[in-house]
């Protein structure tokens, strides 16, 4: 079970998330959409405690945490959550001084304490999965943006996370390179990978997500299937936002 309940998060006097309730069904993909400043990336980061809520609860597998102001979770609890999650960032965040295979191996060797040979085998298997086994010995700087993001996805998958978190995974890429990443994420979704992603990319949300959640001003306005949310939104705020995105990218949405 993966659930965020009554989540509150503020930065100083600025409330960013207001009583958020979100269940993430295992084996499905949930996409968070909304305007800049709506709280979608903050909500995503609360799921692995890169941001710690001031109120609410988080349930991830057997780990259950309750948050209250002035009482940060114990380090063991933070680690228990992070061991079950993988994170894909907007800007890849690969180690430039490590080869592609070493980037994927790094967490397994330094954090999980795997033997290097075992970690290398796992890393090569994952690079094959994202179509980059032939780039294993290359440096990140020699790769395209789409290839770097695919390496970042392989790295996030290395410890076999229960939940894959993707923060705007295609927004730093041009449409052709973004399509490579969408293909990889769609493949993972087809294999039953549980994912929570924040995105402005309608092609990604429509192709990959089972559920789309629209946030505005730190609250969930509407949720539903991609067909319903993009084609038949009920709330006028959702309708205005999705029409704006559709107007900017109708060709991508039809893809």
DSSP secondary structure letters along 187-240: HHHHTT--EEEE-S-HHHHHHH-SEEEEEETTEEEEEE-HHHHHHS--SHHHHH
What's the pLDDT tens digit per position in 95-113? 999 999 999 999 999 999 9
- The 10 Å Cβ neighbour count of residue 99 is 18
- Which domains does the chain carry? 2-84+164-254 (3.40.50.300), 94-160 (no CATH)
- Do 100 and 171 touch, CB atoms closer than 8 A? no
- pLDDT for residue 219: 96
- Do 91 and 172 touch, CB atoms closer than 8 A? yes
Rounded to whole angstroms, how far apart are CA atoms 141 and 97?
A: 9
Please report, for residues 18, 67, 83, 133, the alpha-carbon distance to residue 44 in angstroms, rounded to integers and kept in the order given. Answer: 14, 16, 16, 29
Tell me the mean pLDDT in the region 153-157.
97
- Characterize the bridge pairing of strands 29-33 and 195-198: parallel
- pLDDT above 50 (res 154): yes
Full-model pTM: 0.92
Q: Where does 37-134 show beta strands of DSSP type E?
A: 55-60, 63-67, 85-88
163, β-bridge pairs: 85
- pLDDT for residue 247: 65
- pLDDT for residue 252: 39
Name which of 176, 92, 191, 174 is nearest 140 in CA terms. Answer: 92
Rounded to whole angstroms, how far apart are CA atoms 228 and 119?
A: 43
Using alpha carbons only, give the angle 18, 7, 205 rounded to the nearest 5 degrees: 85
Tell me the mean pLDDT in the region 44-65.
95
Tell me the mean pLDDT in the region 231-245.
89
Paired tokens of 72: 């940060």
Rounded to whole angstroms, how far apart are CA atoms 6 and 198?
A: 19
What's the pLDDT tens digit per position in 175-229? 889 999 999 999 999 999 999 999 988 889 999 999 999 999 999 999 999 999 9
Tell me the mean pLDDT in the region 63-76.
93
């Amino acid at each position: 079970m993966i659930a965020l309940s009554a989540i509150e998060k503020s930065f100083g006097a600025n409330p960013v998330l207001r009583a958020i309730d979100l269940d993430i069904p295992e084996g499905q993909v949930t996409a968070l959409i909304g305007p800049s400043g709506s709280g979608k990336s903050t909500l995503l980061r609360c799921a692995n405690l890169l941001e710690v809520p001031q109120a609410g609860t988080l349930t991830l597998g057997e780990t259950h945490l309750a948050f209250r102001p002035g009482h940060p979770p114990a380090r063991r609890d933070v680690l228990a959550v992070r061991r079950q999650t993988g994170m894909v960032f907007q800007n890849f965040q690969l180690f430039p001084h490590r080869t592609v295979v070493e980037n994927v191996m790094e967490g397994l060797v330094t954090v999980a304490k795997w033997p290097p040979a075992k970690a290398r085998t796992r890393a090569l298997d994952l690079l094959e999965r994202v179509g980059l086994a032939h780039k294993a010995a290359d440096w990140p700087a020699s790769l395209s943006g789409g290839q770097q993001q695919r390496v970042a996805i392989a790295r996030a998958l290395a410890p076999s996370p229960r939940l894959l978190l993707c923060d705007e995974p295609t927004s730093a890429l041009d449409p052709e390179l973004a399509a490579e990443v969408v293909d990889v994420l769609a493949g993972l979704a087809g294999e039953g990978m549980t994912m929570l992603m924040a995105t402005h990319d309608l092609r990604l949300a429509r192709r990959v997500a089972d559920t789309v959640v629209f946030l505005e001003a730190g609250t969930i306005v509407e949720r539903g299937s991609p067909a319903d949310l993009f084609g038949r939104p009920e709330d006028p705020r959702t309708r205005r936002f999705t029409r704006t995105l559709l107007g900017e990218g109708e060709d991508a949405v039809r893809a």
